[in-house]
Structure 1
């Protein structure tokens, strides 16, 4: 790459990602970027409010903002970078790394550095979630409610397990204890009702460390993929879990796949239905009698190196 066209980088690191893996992951990549002649600033996450200021300063300098961490870190930075009109890079160092998987970000540090230096900047969609009184929140990969949101809560307490077992353990435990909910799902104004275990509104195909929950989703089609997994016996749901890893679950009778640009969701259940997004707990779904949660697609909202 011609020195006149070198990119400069601000690497924002979540030191807790991947059980503390992020600080080690950033070192070889930052070194290679500096050896290539780039200006590289590495900052460890001081908290969400300070991160917004750091993103603003980096974009104002013309830096590529690089998320060093997991999907939650990536999602928060994607929203901030997109609102500022900047460019995002990814250095996956979390447990799931599903958005990086969708973009094809390599695992080897040398290849990661090469991608940051030479990769094409492409525009991808983001999700906008409005839930309760909070203002719109930008999410990169997916918003999910029900069993999978409960699994997300469980995986945060499963650090005692090897990384490769944390998500399967959390999924099975969530399935073993789930109670179905009565959902109201409106897609572009068309209302449907389901007794369901899970409803996912996806931009990316992957979540839960490689589960291909929305196999036909793409990041730049301007559409949401909505996956409804209707209530079934707990053993049946557990038996079907392996199918999620290659996308075959969408062939099951209890799975409905929809597409649209705006989704409204509410639900009644014996206990509040949790909501998550990109590995982070986001609250609970409104009851059927309340104003619904709203998820909308933001076409081409984010510039990312991929």
Structure 2
């Protein structure tokens, strides 16, 4: 049983919750007999470099403390290495932890969960999505939702959630169907019009929006949720149902399953785990059992 593990901390996550969560999580791990070292970077690139050094040095586990952005960084360091991943969810959305059934905003409980899994030598082998050399755990988003993200990222004021709410209203006013070129596995490429296409390794994004409600993180397949062309009125009616996953029954929504998805569309950015991965076209591939999660 490796005695030293690494806390990979984003102190700014959740308006400072990440910094406050590190202490209780570390305390729980030390009580279980582990030596704990902490990695905090000056920026995302520096943090990832530190996490990779810890993995290369043989740390017993990498424990991400923060939100989905921090988990995404941690995945870049541990995927395919055999180093277990723990998650202390202390961000705003926490979709990865939510889908995996881990404690949310309970850092001591999350620390105890990781410690017990390490001590008992257990964990859950999860699939990950991969786009080039970029790994993702939850959802690749493209379309209306990514346009909202694009707009919010351009806005300097207001800050916080209000920035996204105003961006959503602005994009709703400009709503129009997007012409996609889609290829699933080895099937022929198809041209379709859609409001958005989400490729789910996990089921939720955006803080509990179950856009790919049927997706499982260990079945070797993506769930591909296509929201077809719709009016603003229809979108507003369907949107609240996303939190329950009942939108999948609406006639404008279809779901496909595939291990490899190619999406192309003009002027659309892809976001995976809430982080920009660049403009379409993008190819996402499932990688079975790419990470061992401490649960």
> Is the 1:224–1:261 contact (alpha carbons within 8 Å) kept by the matching residues of 2?
yes
Query: 2:72 is matched with which residue: 49, 72, 75?
Result: 75
Q: Structure 1: where are the runs of 5+ without partners? A: 131-135, 287-292
Query: 1:140 is matched with which residue: 111, 114, 137?
Result: 137
SS at match of 2:194: strand
Assess, with a 3 A threshold, how the Cα gap between structure 1 residues 170 and 93 changes in structure 2: closer, same or farther: farther
The aligned residue for residue 4 of structure 2 is 8
SS at match of 1:105: coil
The aligned residue for residue 277 of structure 1 is 272
| Shift of residue 70, structure 1, vs aligned partner | 1.4
Q: Structure 2: where are the runs of 5+ without partners? A: none
1:224 aligns with 2:222: yes
| Shift of residue 7, structure 1, vs aligned partner | 4.9
Assess, with a 3 A threshold, how the Cα gap between structure 1 residues 6 and 115 changes in structure 2: closer, same or farther: farther
Matches within 5 A, 1:251-270: 251-268=249-266
Assess, with a 3 A threshold, how the Cα gap between structure 1 residues 168 and 100 changes in structure 2: closer, same or farther: farther
Assess, with a 3 A threshold, how the Cα gap between structure 1 residues 209 and 142 changes in structure 2: closer, same or farther: same
Query: 2:285 is matched with which residue: 296, 302, 306?
Result: 296
Assess, with a 3 A threshold, how the Cα gap between structure 1 residues 168 and 258 changes in structure 2: closer, same or farther: farther
SS at match of 1:249: helix
Assess, with a 3 A threshold, how the Cα gap between structure 1 residues 68 and 173 changes in structure 2: closer, same or farther: farther
SS at match of 2:192: strand
The aligned residue for residue 125 of structure 1 is 127
For residues 9 and 86 of structure 1, the distance between their equivalents in structure 2, rounded to whole angstroms, comes to: 10
Poorly superposed stretches of 4+, deviation over 4 Å: 154-163, 165-173
Task: Note the alpha carbon deviations across 1:215-240, whole angstroms, 9 max, x for none.
Answer: 11011000011011111111210121
> Is the 1:88–1:303 contact (alpha carbons within 8 Å) kept by the matching residues of 2?
yes
> Is the 1:7–1:117 contact (alpha carbons within 8 Å) kept by the matching residues of 2?
no
The aligned residue for residue 115 of structure 1 is 113
Query: 2:231 is matched with which residue: 207, 212, 233?
Result: 233
Aligned length: 287
For residues 165 and 95 of structure 2, the distance between their equivalents in structure 1, rounded to whole angstroms, comes to: 15
The aligned residue for residue 54 of structure 1 is 50
The aligned residue for residue 175 of structure 1 is 172
For residues 67 and 29 of structure 2, the distance between their equivalents in structure 1, rounded to whole angstroms, comes to: 21
SS at match of 2:112: helix
Task: Note the alpha carbon deviations across 1:8-67, whole angstroms, 9 max, x for none.
Answer: 321111222212321011111112222332101122223344334422332223321011
Q: Which moved more, 1:49-58 or 1:208-217?
A: 49-58
Query: 1:247 is matched with which residue: 245, 251, 255?
Result: 245
TM-score calculated relative to the size of structure 1 = 0.86
> Is the 1:201–1:227 contact (alpha carbons within 8 Å) kept by the matching residues of 2?
yes
1:187 aligns with 2:187: no
For residues 244 and 126 of structure 2, the distance between their equivalents in structure 1, rounded to whole angstroms, comes to: 23
For residues 238 and 249 of structure 2, the distance between their equivalents in structure 1, rounded to whole angstroms, comes to: 11
For residues 98 and 168 of structure 2, the distance between their equivalents in structure 1, rounded to whole angstroms, comes to: 20
TM-score calculated relative to the size of structure 2 = 0.89
